[in-house]
Structure 1
Amino acid sequence: MKTRNVLSRLALTLFAATQFSALAADTPKVGDKAPDFSLKGLDDKTVRLSELTAKERVVLIVLRGWPGYQCPVCDRQVQDFIKLAPAFSEAKARVVFVYPGPAQDLKAHADEFVKMKNKQWPKDFLFVTDPDFTMVNSYGLRWDAANETAYPSTFVLDLTGKVTFAKTSHSHGDRTKAAEVLTELGRASAK
């Protein structure tokens, strides 16, 4: 009887796990159409991905956001992109940073992050918040562990919203450098 109970529980657990994994979103790969989303910037204006890609190429960078502290690796990555902002403007690409986290106080934490080290925010760069991980979940990027939010990721999207470059880090490091993205943008322009 004990064996039957254990086997029944095991079967139920396996069934639930496979059902959950079937519902989990896949991370977009090169060639996929990026899932659309609408998120708010720090100015409370709504940013819709499909409206951006209809006008220009988009570099979409998902940060770790607010895992309970300001991520220093995210800060370095953002600074790297800010330094090369004129090159992104020249490449006619809009850079969008996504800052995920629990909805409570997320905007205040995001505002604090943007103001750290007196970042000079370039006009072609957008910074949006993802309260309660709506976008992160739809992209299959939720890092569901203690003190984590999202897997840091970078996507380059063309004018149709198709992914032409994708990189996801499953650790705090190994972030995409701005120069890597500019190389991809140059390669795509040459086609």
Structure 2
Amino acid sequence: MSAFTLSSSRAQKAAGLRLNQAWSVLLAITCALLLGRSVLAETPAVGAKAADFTLLTPTGKSVTLSAERGGHLLVLVILRGFPGYQCPYCVKQVHDFVERASDFKAKNTRVLLVYPGPPADLDQHAKEFLEKQAELPSNVVLVTDPDYKVTNLYGLRWDAPHETAYPSTFILDGSGTVVFEKVTHSHGDRLSALDALDHLSTN
């Protein structure tokens, strides 16, 4: 066998080895990304720390979960938002919490409402949604989730036609730990304000 043939064979083996190494690295990166996504998409259970996030109100004010909590109890409500129409169950639930806002304030508790939906015109839809309510009390805040940032972060994406998020309610203590959670896979099974107040009384 000539020196040229040996050299060519070695070059081919080296190239094949480099290609295998490149595929191995690519596979490892892909697995890490998928694993990271699955971890991030876990719905926070009781005893777990709720992931922090920042969203905007329909008027453009920045709201961060940890700052809104401020070391006190907080009720986090993930609505269906705008799945192509104003969800009547969301309207009813939000009105219920607004009606009981003074009771939450007496317990030094804030209520944060997350309104998800397709990005186009979501702020306008949220403003229209609020028109059906009295002016929100100072301890009740509504933010929009136009790119499903929080919906996906909390593993609540209801990825089906005319759906946005599984309607869910979390109660967080002063450190941001979940002390109660209710996640539903139907439209109408929502936590009432009175039930939330009852759970606050035990924490």
Shorter-chain TM-score: which interval? Answer: 0.7 to 0.9
TM-score (norm 1): 0.85
Give the letter for the 1:154 counterpart. Answer: T
Larger Cα-atom Rg:
2
Counterpart position of 2:85: 69
Matching residue of 1:27 = 43
TM-score (normalizing by structure 2):
0.80
Q: Which residue of 2 aligns with 1:124?
A: 139
Q: What secondary structure is seen at the aligned counterpart in 2 of 1:167? A: strand
Gaps of 5+ in 2: 1-32
Shift in CA distance, 137/86, structure 1 to aligned 2, threshold 3 Å: same
Structure 1 residue matching 2:141: 3-state secondary structure:
strand
Partners of 1:93 and 1:63 lie apart in 2 by 19
**How much does 1:23 deviate?**
3.1
Counterpart Cα distance in 1 of 2:154 and 2:64: 15
- Which amino acid in the other structure matches residue 162 of structure 1? T
Deviations along 1:16-69, one digit per CA (max 9) or x if unpaired, are: xxx968733111110000011000012311100111223321100000000000
The separation in 2 between residues aligned to 1:21 and 1:176, in whole angstroms, is 32
Give 1:154's aligned residue: 169
C-alpha separation between the residues in 2 aligned to 1:73 and 1:134?
A: 22
SS at match of 1:79: helix
Q: For the residues of structure 1 that align with 2:121 and 2:181, how far apart are their CA atoms?
A: 30
Which amino acid counterpart does residue 52 of structure 1 have in structure 2? Answer: E
Distance 1:21 1:81 in 2: 37
Identical residues among aligned pairs (%): 49
Q: Residue type matched to 1:34 in 2?
A: A
Q: Quote the residue 1:140 is aligned against.
A: 155
Distance 1:41 1:169 in 2: 25
- Identify the match of residue 171 of structure 1 among 180, 186, 203: 186
* CA–CA distance in structure 1, aligned partners of residues 116 and 35 of structure 2: 22
